[in-house]
Amino acid sequence: MANEALAQSSNTWFNVALLAYIVAMVAYFFRLAFTRVSADGVIAGTAVGRRVGMLGTAVAVIGVGAHTASVVMRGLAAGRVPWANMYEYSSLLALVAVVVGLVVVQQRMGYGHLVGFVLATAVLSMTIGLLLYTPAGPVVPALNSYWIKIHTSAAMASSSIFMVAFVATALYLVKDAAERRVAERSNASFDGSTVGAAHVGGPATTEQRPEGYEADTELDTRVASPLAQREALSPVWFPVVPGLVVVVFVLAVWRAPVAAIIAGSVAALLGTAAWYAVPYLPPAAKLDNLAYRTIAFAFPIWTFAVMAGAIWAEEAWGRYWGWDPKETGSFFTWVLYASYLHARSTHGWRGRRAAWVAVVAFVALMITYYAVNLWIVGLHSYAKA
């Protein structure tokens, strides 16, 4: 049957894309390793690092191509838009996140070395998607509406951009902690906030080109010792926290101890990579700005997704808002991201506190997506459709 063949093809391309992302992610992290930092804070790339970086980018782009093919074939196999269950949704989340990472984070902003972390979230999302795999098939009557193209796609697009924003937020918190500790130890004056808006000096233009590093002499002198930053942070928390979180999550949802340990180890490795990457990250102020701009971009889309969901609910279920768990979930996610935007304009909340609000908001988003679908009884339990 043509559908069956297409579905198989789609799965194959999915696996190719997943493999490509893993390889690219490793390459990006290797590029971090092939970097020299001198004592007075000059970061310079090496030839090997540059080549590994280019390889990583190339493989990531191939992965995007394979992934797009997978998504398109899935849509053709099922005879509808390819975002109607958790497997397809997770797959698309990853694809959009990688595209945003490559195009916006690497190309436009020049923070190529952050893309490894974005790829990590994409790999995680796809792996979870595999655990939730359902064969390609048509949708139940409740989902049989043109609104799926509007509401679900908007929710998916904004969620994946929030994923990228989470990477920036987490790295901001890490880098900010490092910069503060170094500043404290060197008794340098510090104005207490590394939020980019008007307070921290630094070049207005991006100082790092996408490929390789030039000798970076424009670093703010207060944070002039990148290696000292890494030393300033305790390397214990970095593997432990992500590892534990992932182990608990996998155990709670799938009750699979082996999978939990594997996933937890991967998360722990990522955490360690984040610790290692601290000196090479852009200044905290820039990371904060990246987080802010990505959240500011995704927030209107998420708002629109919630509204479109309400209009669809009115047509399908006869009421636009019934405080169903998915609706409450999307509501508190919206409120928390709105709180983040508020916090950034409130004295005393800028910088770290606002970033923690963004972290909580992302956790809320994950609850809305995973926990509500898989755990909680409600109208949106399309998990194992």
CB of 53 to other proteins, least distance (A): 25
Beta carbon of residue 342, minimum distance to other proteins (angstroms, whole number): 6
- Give the closest residue to 213 by CA, choosing from 13, 38, 20: 38
Instruction: Decide: residue 378, CB within 10 A, 0-12 exposed, 13-18 middle, 19+ buried.
Output: middle
- Alpha helices (H) along the chain: 2-33, 47-78, 86-100, 115-131, 147, 153-185, 226-232, 237-254, 257-277, 284-317, 325-343, 352-366, 372-374
In the complex, the smallest distance separating the C-beta of residue 183 from other proteins, rounded to whole angstroms, is: 23
Residue 217 makes contact with other proteins by CB under 8 A? no
Nearer to other proteins, 242 or 325 (CB): 325
CB of 274 to other proteins, least distance (A): 26
Cα distances (Å, whole numbers) of residue 113 to 35, 58, 108, 208, 285:
11, 14, 13, 10, 16
Residues numbered 305 to 344 that lie near other proteins (CB under 8 A) are 307, 310, 314-325, 328-329, 331-332, 335-336, 338-339, 341-343
Rank residues 110 and 212 by Cβ distance to other proteins and give the closer one. Answer: 110
Among 40, 252, 345, 384, binds other proteins (CB under 8 A): 345
Query: How distant, in Å, are the alpha carbons of 52, 341, 356 from that of 349?
Result: 40, 10, 10
How many whole angstroms separate alpha carbon 329 and alpha carbon 158? 15
- Give min distance, CB of 351 to other proteins, in A: 14
Stretch 95-154 residues interacting with other proteins (CB under 8 A): 137-138, 140-142, 144-145, 147
323: helix, strand or coil? coil
Binding mask 184-213 for other proteins (x = CB under 8 A): ------------xxx-----xx--------
What is the rounded CA–CA span in Å between residue 315 and residue 212? Answer: 53
Torsion region of 146: left, alpha or beta (phi above 0 gives left; psi -120 to 50 gives alpha) = alpha
Indicate whether 81 belongs to the interface with other proteins (CB under 8 A): no
Task: Summarize as ranges the residues that interact with other proteins (CB under 8 A).
Answer: 137-138, 140-142, 144-145, 147, 196-198, 204-205, 289, 296, 299-300, 303-304, 307, 310, 314-325, 328-329, 331-332, 335-336, 338-339, 341-343, 345-349, 364, 367-368, 371-372, 376-378
